[in-house]
A and B are shown apart, each in its own frame.
Chain A
Amino acid sequence: MSADIQIMGVVGLYLALSLFVGLRAGKGVSDSATGFVVGDRAMGGVLMYFVTGATIFSAFAFLGAPGWAWSRGAAAFHILAFGILGFIPFYFIGPAASRLGRKHGFVTQAELVAARLGSRPLALVMALVSLLAFIPYLALQMRGSGHVLEVLTRGAIPMQWGAALVYGVVLLYVWRSGVMGVGWTNTLQGLFMMVLAWTLGLYLPYALHGGVGPMFAKIAERDPGFLTLPGRTPDGGDWSWSSYGSSVFVMAVGFSFWPHLFQKALAAKSERVLRRTVVLYPTFQFFLLPILFIGFAGVGFDPPPEQADQILPHLLLHMDLPALVVGLFCAGALAASMSSGDAILHSAASIVVRDGWIVGFGRSLSPHAERRAVRLMLLPLLLVSYLVAAVFPVDIVGLLSYAYGPVGQLAPPVLAALFWSKATGRGALVGLVVGSMVTIWFSRFPIWPVHAGLLGLVANVVLLVSISVLAPHWGERFPRKR
């Protein structure tokens, strides 16, 4: 049997298993938007741990993080650093959001914030900002999955076909089972990724350098600056402390406010489940550690890959490993891509329908019709993301870092809606719009060596606070839900 057929056999088995688990997960869930979007608010502890963990453990983890370790050295440590503190705000916002969700029937982040602050346009703008981050992020997941299949089958399956195959499976189980499909497949994918990450993360340094310690000793001896924080820039220069520190800060701030992650607070069975998930979350960082080992194992490997993101598949292809091992890696990378992509796709569809159509434009739909609308919305969103993936080349971690900029701008309005009674809808709206524009502008035209999201956050908070305090009744038109 040829190697390509064996690889495709393993990948096929993995996809079939994901589909089976995803399709079965929807049994017993109500035929309503609450059932489809937040699983009738019945997610238990195990599901929450894997949903929150695997959602973050995306294509960037399996492809981007090793790429950064290989090309930028210690700069890759920031990928571990921001996740340690990033989920702590969820300990407070999660239970508060969960309580309000049960009381008022909220199923999305923007819906909750808009209702608390009495501003419908705020829901629309938050939905827009979410989509601004979601579409490239979903495209990135698709591109990652297609790319892995293309490289490991030596071009037999082109990127576009691979992405279509993998996301066809995602579409089927998200369509059938909604958030429960996302949850159970993420549990399967999370377990699979953990085993695979540690297996490859220990095996590759051992095979190429004699172990993890000898690998780092060899790199430090050859080029000590490579492992010195804050690491290197893409062109090999020294990354500045301000860029490193502000990236960790902005990504830590934005972490808990990703709308698809926040939405899981509304799906949890109880507040206790949410708190336990946050307490356990830092342990997930230990599954990212071996991913960095993989990238460092490739330092000095000859021939080098054409692009940094290709380092892992490149190593596997050039090390004469058994086709079964290559196939397992391929399935692991697809699991990483799918576990984030499915959650984003599902969340984006519910945001368009609930925040855009129902809250933003004030239209009403029956629970059954809303569920159908969310399902139908999966198709155009997937198509747009697919076109972005097929047309635009992207640097995986760079794009993720960009996406955190706009997402970080959601933090001030969410925190204000939950914990500051004097906050106004207009203050939150102006702060969010200006903060997002500042972020996008300075991402495109940087003037200081700091993450653009930090500048956006400063503008956002200043405007939110000053407008709320100085003009408390400006633009107040809708009643607030408390």
Chain B
Amino acid sequence: MTPRRAHLALGLFVLVAMLSLTWPLSVWFAEPLPLVLGLPRGLFTICCWAAATFVALLAYDRVLSKDREQEDA
């Protein structure tokens, strides 16, 4: 993946995550039941966003680090 695409992908991810964590998309997980892995659906979804953000940032950082290494070389 090129750095440009990585920027776009991260931007899109942040936008969707922000919408989901604030209002419009989160209405669907507002109801607590049925519990998922013992957690209310809203709390479970927020945890999923935390994990997904970690993975997205990790992937983004890898792409940019490789690009920086190539530039340095």
Contacts from A to B (Cβ < 8 Å): 74, 77, 80-82, 84-85, 88, 91, 211-213, 216-217, 220, 224, 227-230, 241-242, 244-246, 248-249, 252, 272, 275-276, 278-280, 282-283, 285-286, 289, 292
Contacts and interface: CB of A to CB of B under 8 A. Distances in A.
B63 interface: no
Contacts of A227: 32, 40, 42
B54 A81 contact: no
A126 B44 CA distance: 38
B47 A85 contact: no
A74 B40 CA distance: 9
Interface string B46-71: 11011101100110010001000000
B33 A275 contact: no
B21 A85 contact: yes
B38 A279 contact: no
A248 B46 CA distance: 12
Contact of A248 (B22, B31, B51): B22
Which 3 A-B pairs give the minimum distances between C-beta atoms? Answer: A213-B38, A227-B32, A245-B22
B39 A88 contact: no
A91 B49 CA distance: 18
B46 A80 contact: yes
A224 B43 contact: no
Given A74-B42, A216-B35, A230-B30, A88 B57 contact: yes
B47 A74 contact: no
B29 A279 contact: no
Given A74-B42, A229-B26, A229-B42, A84 B21 contact: yes
Contact of A229 (B18, B29, B39, B54): B29
Contacts of B38: 211-213, 216
Given A220-B33, A227-B32, A286-B50, A279 B61 contact: yes
B14 interface: yes
B57 A278 contact: yes
Given A229-B30, A279-B61, A213 B35 contact: yes
Contact of B61 (A213, A245, A276): A276
A80 B33 contact: no
B51 to A, nearest CB: 7
Nearest to B26: A229
5 contacts: A74-B43, A81-B46, A216-B40, A220-B32, A279-B58
A80 to B, nearest CB: 5
Contact of A280 (B23, B26, B54): B54
B49 A84 contact: yes
A216 B42 CA distance: 12
Contact of B53 (A85, A211, A229, A249): A85
B54 A283 contact: yes
Contacts of B61: 91, 275-276, 279
A282 B54 contact: yes
